[in-house]
Chains A and B, each alone.
Chain A
Amino acid sequence: MRIPILKLHNYLLISIQTELDDQTAIQFQEDLLKEIHKTEALGVVIDLTSVEVIDSFIAKVLGDVVAMSDLMGAKVVLTGIQPAVAMTLIELGIHLKNVSTALDLEQGLFKLHQELGE
């Protein structure tokens, strides 16, 4: 199962709709990096509104994807993290310190816009 990646001008938009199993998460990481390379996108928004569970592994994959994309010249914003998920992550001790976040897709694009200094 692959997660669809949409292109909008210089941005890539992803909305994760399904329960993430390890395999899908790793595949997603690969697909996104390939897509960034192909489109030379400068910004990526990953929307997690429909994600009900993020455990330490998925959190690591997401954190890694942000760092890897950064290496490839694209800034990433995670949007729509649910309250229940946020609390669970913090209680687990996972703070995702170097990850940009925004409330929803709109604010995410706005934030990227700011960060990219356009």
Chain B
Amino acid sequence: MKRNLRDIAIENSDQIVQEWLKQIGSLKEVNYTADISEELFDSNNREFVGVIFNSIKENGSTKIIEEFSGKIIHLGWPLSYITDGLQVFRSVTINTILSKLEKVDAEYISEVLNSVDSWVEPIIRQLVNEYSVSWEHVVSLQRIALQELSAPLIPVMDNITIMPLVGTIDTERAKFIMENLLEGVMRHNSEVVLIDITGVPVVDTMVAHHLFQATEAVRLLGAKCILVGIRPEIAQTIVNLGIDFSKLPTKSSLKKGFLLALEITNKSIVELDKKLESVEELLGTSKGSEGSYENTNIETT
């Protein structure tokens, strides 16, 4: 019995397709495909309905569906396009088949409904599955990318390292930051680590607590932490929350923090006067004839 229905559907595929295209077209305004150009929409529709019929003919073969779904996901078509399309297909096909039949009793109608459902269901299931797998994949890739951005450690000088923190810090990220920080301290043999929180928008108790834990762990390792980039609002928050940062040196800017780090590692920045002298010399000897530089004994003309 079912085979008959299938044949009916296939025989009348042209009519079904026409009706389907018409209805899908009318839905275009309503769903997310409104921005897509007419030609693209049309060609995709034809391909879509072709895929559906193909699946019915092949009794639910998945290869063509996979290819099609891969293509539209990649192009960024919304899932609603698929679900709408299949819903419309169901109703159009059911109506078409029913119109072609002589006897239309309740039992037959229910058979028609069931048959059409059995064709459409595997397609929906697979397409939805493909979509959700691709979403999950993207999300997990993004997570990894975010994590990599999460806690970079920059060795600036022999024993001084900087960790610029950007973005919100939740417990998960805090753990990652701490691990990275400690491993970095060991790897770079840092004596001083400057943690810059200029880019951290919110510092509440949780974040302050995590920062504190991280700095304490660094201290256990044997290095010193300096917290920099503390904005006025953050300073207020920390004091108001009663968090004790007294053992931790803090500076308002990276520059000041860096100078402190130099002090701690017994280094300092020195201006090189010699450089100036040599530039003057340079000017003096190259323009020899015009120069009135005392130390040269070039005769002027």
Residue of A nearest to B223 (CB): A103
**In residues 17-31 of chain A, which contact B (Cβ within 8 Å)?**
none
**CA separation between A81 and B217, bound complex, in Å?**
10
> What are 11 of the A-B contact pairs (CB < 8 Å)?
A81-B220, A81-B222, A85-B220, A90-B216, A90-B217, A91-B213, A97-B247, A102-B222, A103-B222, A104-B222, A107-B222
- The reply to whether B213 and A103 contact each other, CB–CB distance below 8 Å, is no
Apart from A83-B186, A91-B213, A107-B191: 16 A-B pairs, beta carbons within 8 A: A78-B222, A81-B220, A81-B221, A83-B179, A83-B217, A89-B220, A90-B216, A90-B217, A90-B220, A95-B216, A97-B247, A101-B220, A101-B221, A103-B185, A103-B186, A103-B189
Number of A-B contacts (CB under 8 A): 53
Q: How far is the CA of A82 from the CA of B186 in the complex (A)?
A: 8
Judge whether A87 and B222 touch: CB under 8 Å. no
What residues make up the interface of B, taking CB atoms closer than 8 Å to A?
178-179, 182-183, 185-186, 189-191, 213, 216-223, 247
B248 to chain A, nearest CB (A): 12
Q: Name the prevailing secondary structure of the A interface residues.
A: mixed
Nearest B residue (CB) for A97: B247
Residues of A within 8 A of B (CB): 78-83, 85-87, 89-91, 95-97, 101-104, 107-108
How many angstroms between the C-alpha atoms of A117 and B191 in the bound complex?
19
Query: Roughly how many angstroms separate A89 CA and B178 CA in the complex, as a whole number?
Result: 13
Q: Which of A86, A89, A102 neighbours the largest number of chain B CB atoms within 10 Å of its CB?
A: A86
Q: Given A103-B222, A107-B222, is A87 in contact with B217 using a C-beta cutoff of 8 Å? A: yes
Are A87 and B189 neighbours in the complex by a CB distance under 8 Å?
Answer: no
Residue of B nearest to A85 (CB): B220
**A104 → B minimal CB distance (Å):** 8
Q: Which residue of B lies closest to A77 (CB)?
A: B222
Beta-carbon contact of A83 and B213 below 8 Å: no
A103 CB contacts on chain B under 8 angstroms: 185-186, 189-191, 221-223
Bound: A81/B219 CA distance, A? 10
A contact residues around B217 at 8 Å (CB)? 83, 86-87, 89-90
Q: What is the distance, in angstroms, from B184's C-beta to the closest C-beta of chain A?
A: 9
- Given the contacts A101-B221, A101-B222, A102-B222, A87 and B186 also touching, CB distance less than 8 Å: no
B179, B185, B213, B247 — most chain A CB neighbours (10 Å): B213
A83 touches B183 (CB 8 A): yes
Please indicate the chain A residues that have their CB under 8 angstroms from the CB of B221 in the complex. Answer: 81, 83, 86, 101, 103
Give Cα A104 to B223, complex, Å: 10
Distance A107 CA – B219 CA, assembled complex (angstroms):
14
A86 touches B182 (CB 8 A): yes
Q: How far is the CA of A29 from the CA of B96 in the complex (A)?
A: 92
B219 and A83: CB pair below 8 A?
A: no
Contacts of B219 in A (CB 8 A): 101
Q: Which residue of B lies closest to A79 (CB)?
A: B222
Q: Which residues of A contact B186 (CB under 8 A)?
A: 82-83, 103
The complex places the Cα of A90 from the Cα of B182 at a distance, in Å, of: 12
8 A-B pairs with the lowest CB-CB distances in the bound complex, closest first: A83-B182, A102-B222, A103-B222, A86-B220, A101-B222, A86-B217, A90-B217, A90-B213
Does B213 contact A96, Cβ atoms closer than 8 Å?
Answer: no
